[in-house]
Structure 1
Amino acid sequence: MKIWNRIERYPEDAGRVVATIGNYDGVHRGHRVILSDVVAAARALRGSSLLITFDPHPLEVVAPERRPQLLQTRGQKLESLEETGLDAVLILAFDTTLAAMTGEQFFEAVLDRRVDLAEVRIGENFRFGHDRAGGVELLTAIGARRKFEVGSVSPVEIDGGIVSSSRIRQQIRDGQVESAAAMLGRPYTIRGEVTRGDGRGRKLRYPTANLSTRNELLPGNGVYVTEVVTGAARQAAVSNVGIRPTFHSGGTAVETHLIDFEGNLYGERMEVRFLARIRDEQKFADGVELSNQIARDLAAAEAFFENGRLAPL
């Protein structure tokens, strides 16, 4: 998959293009249906498939107070997009100039210069242009004038609701990581570097890896069954997201105990995949009470890995 960060770098000889346009934060199941459609249509034309996306998120420019916490880092997003079979991604720098363009101006000023559009495929709820004034109808009219086809794809529904990035974000904030995974098509995942903590986990006989992450959105405070990936190794684990109220430790942290693991992970890159929520974060009277609860958490996690579901605590 080719990645282009400026329209000027997009190759003029790319041939006929089937494209889609949007933020695609999370590259969830609804996104993947559209992208699969784009890839198939491009292959049928013997052309190339293209996603036109934006960085930063448009709301960061037009309404910073409403800017969402993103589901993926840029690197995660590009990895997910490559899995779909896309030929190329064009990342446009979203600024006030781009925000002020009408839909027609966007196609004229940005795409007409380089991209030989054969088709544009988008979701039924697609909006574009200044103040998000344009939708499928306007895009179809622009396509008729500029000689490209427009196709819309029906949204994916799960549990009576449309799969969307905003719905997934709320599920993650609420700690509903299993529901989020159903909509994402994979577990919600954060990445980062293992850093030194205060060593309390080791004193309690349950050493933890403390994750410093650039992911913006953390699951709601609580204890989770997780899977950890370090290099090529995968490990069953339990993760706590929260403020560690028993010890009045302050800011939010992600601490992970790897089950049946011995070793030093300091400085290592680590990926944490959230599989199920065990319980809310709690304040305990002392370290002994906390240690006993951790033992129960680990038993619940082990049952999950054996049976695919949580056992009652």
Structure 2
Amino acid sequence: MQLVRGLHNLRPRHRGCVATIGNFDGVHRGHQAILARLRERAAELGLPSCVVIFEPQPREFFAADSAPPRLSRLREKLQLLAAAGIDQVLCLSFNRRLRELSAAEFVSAVLVEGLGVRHLEVGDDFRFGCDRTGDFAFLCKVGPDAGFSVEEAATVELDGERVSSTRVRQALAAADFALAERLLGRPFCIEGRVLHGQKLARQLGTPTANVQLKRRRVPLSGVFVASVELDGRRWPGVANIGVRPTVQGDGRPHLEVHLLDFAGELYGRHLTVAFHHKLRDEQRFASLEALKTAIDGDVAAARAYWQGQPPK
């Protein structure tokens, strides 16, 4: 899959494609249905498939502190789109200039002049352009004269409700990881590089990998049973996501994961942490001794959880 960052990096070889547009946060089963249809139409027309995304996501541009926590940061999103068989991704910087484009200007600059779109797949809730004036009806109206056809992607439902990024976040907030997995089509994961931290957990007898989050907010908080795929083996473990209230911190969320019975160096490794069960909320302890006791209890609870799971 080829990634193009910005309209200015588009080349003639990128023109003439079948495209879709959206945030694709989490690339859940609803997104996957759109991508599958996109690939089908691209194959029928003999053209490459293209996904147009925005960075930051529009709601993050307008209100970064109150925007919903991401299900996937850009790197994870691109990996999921590549795994879905997409040929190219156009990542547009969502800034004031892009925000002020009218719906007609967006169609002209991005879809026609930029990509030369021949067919467009859009979700049923898709809106674009200044003040979100562009929608499916507008695209159907301007598409024929602009040289592209338009198809509305069918809504995907699970248990009678629409599959959406919002619903995935709600499932995660409720620690319903089984539902989140059904909505995503895979376990919910967070990935990142292992960085050097305060090494406090090591001093307390339970060394943890400090996984770089690179996001302002996360959809989870607390202590969880987790697992990490490492060198072809799944390591069971326990993970903490939070601001570490017992020790002096920077107020930002951190992800720390302890791999049960693992002995080795993880610094610099890129880990993918999957979440399976919530043990407790994050809390402030009166002393490091009390924190150590709680961590030991978390490790014991995680061991008990994994001992009760069938082998995979």
Q: Is the 8 A contact 1:174 1:220 kept in 2?
A: no
Cα-to-partner distance string for 1:165-191 (whole Å, 9 max, x where unaligned) = 223233334433332222222222222
Calculate the aligned-residue CA RMSD, in Å.
2.7
What is the one-letter code of the residue matched to 2:56? P
Cα-to-partner distance string for 1:102-130 (whole Å, 9 max, x where unaligned) = 22111113332232222101111111121
Displacement of 1:202: 5.2
Task: Supply the distance in 1 between the matched residues of 2:14 and 2:244 (Cα, whole angstroms).
Answer: 53
Q: Is the 8 A contact 1:194 1:211 kept in 2?
A: yes
Displacement of 1:293: 2.0
What is the one-letter code of the residue matched to 1:56? P
Instruction: State, as a whole percentage, how many aligned pairs show the same letter.
Output: 34
Cα-to-partner distance string for 1:215-268 (whole Å, 9 max, x where unaligned) = 4443433221211134555311111223556x5555554332212211232343
Paired position in structure 1 for 2:25 = 25
Match among 282, 291, 301 for residue 297 of structure 1: 301
Paired position in structure 2 for 1:265 = 266
Cα-to-partner distance string for 1:73-107 (whole Å, 9 max, x where unaligned) = 21111111101111111112222222122221111
Paired position in structure 1 for 2:212 = 212
What is the one-letter code of the residue matched to 1:136? F
Q: Which runs of 5+ in 2 are unaligned?
A: none
TM-score, normalization by structure 2: 0.86
Range with greater deviation from structure 2 (280-289 or 88-97): 280-289
Is 2:99 the partner of 1:95?
no
Secondary structure at 2:107 match in 1: helix
Paired position in structure 2 for 1:311 = none
Q: What is the 5 A alignment of 1:87-166?
A: 87-166=87-166
Q: Is the 8 A contact 2:193 2:268 kept in 1?
A: no
Number of equivalences: 306
Is 2:67 the partner of 1:51?
no
Q: Is the 8 A contact 1:21 1:51 kept in 2?
A: yes
Secondary structure at 1:299 match in 2: helix
Task: Supply the distance in 2 between the matched residues of 1:97 and 1:69 (Cα, whole angstroms).
Answer: 24
Q: Is the 8 A contact 2:71 2:218 kept in 1?
A: no
Query: CA distance change for structure 1 residues 288 and 137 in 2, over 3 Å: closer, same or farther?
Result: closer
Cα-to-partner distance string for 1:126-155 (whole Å, 9 max, x where unaligned) = 111211122211111111222321111122
Paired position in structure 1 for 2:280 = 279
Query: CA distance change for structure 1 residues 305 and 65 in 2, over 3 Å: closer, same or farther?
Result: same
Paired position in structure 2 for 1:176 = 176
Task: Supply the distance in 1 between the matched residues of 2:295 and 2:51 (Cα, whole angstroms).
Answer: 49
Query: CA distance change for structure 1 residues 231 and 219 in 2, over 3 Å: closer, same or farther?
Result: farther
Q: Is the 8 A contact 2:7 2:114 kept in 1?
A: yes
Secondary structure at 2:12 match in 1: coil
What is the one-letter code of the residue matched to 1:52? V
TM-score, normalization by structure 1: 0.85
Q: Is the 8 A contact 1:12 1:114 kept in 2?
A: no
Task: Supply the distance in 1 between the matched residues of 2:225 and 2:65 (Cα, whole angstroms).
Answer: 33
Cα-to-partner distance string for 1:275-308 (whole Å, 9 max, x where unaligned) = 2223334567836743652353123331354378
Q: Which runs of 5+ in 1 are unaligned?
A: 309-313
What is the one-letter code of the residue matched to 2:294? L
Paired position in structure 2 for 1:256 = 257
Q: Is the 8 A contact 1:71 1:216 kept in 2?
A: no
Query: CA distance change for structure 1 residues 140 and 288 in 2, over 3 Å: closer, same or farther?
Result: closer
Is 2:83 the partner of 1:83?
yes
Q: Is the 8 A contact 2:194 2:271 kept in 1?
A: yes
Task: Supply the distance in 2 between the matched residues of 1:304 and 1:215 (Cα, whole angstroms).
Answer: 33
Query: CA distance change for structure 1 residues 291 and 222 in 2, over 3 Å: closer, same or farther?
Result: closer
Task: Supply the distance in 1 between the matched residues of 2:202 and 2:15 (Cα, whole angstroms).
Answer: 57
What is the one-letter code of the residue matched to 1:171? A
Task: Supply the distance in 1 between the matched residues of 2:92 and 2:279 (Cα, whole angstroms).
Answer: 41
Task: Supply the distance in 1 between the matched residues of 2:185 and 2:216 (Cα, whole angstroms).
Answer: 20
Paired position in structure 1 for 2:241 = 241
Cα-to-partner distance string for 1:157-216 (whole Å, 9 max, x where unaligned) = 223322222232333344333322222222222223242334345534x33223332144
Query: CA distance change for structure 1 residues 280 and 151 in 2, over 3 Å: closer, same or farther?
Result: same
Task: Supply the distance in 2 between the matched residues of 1:300 and 1:189 (Cα, whole angstroms).
Answer: 22
Secondary structure at 1:68 match in 2: coil
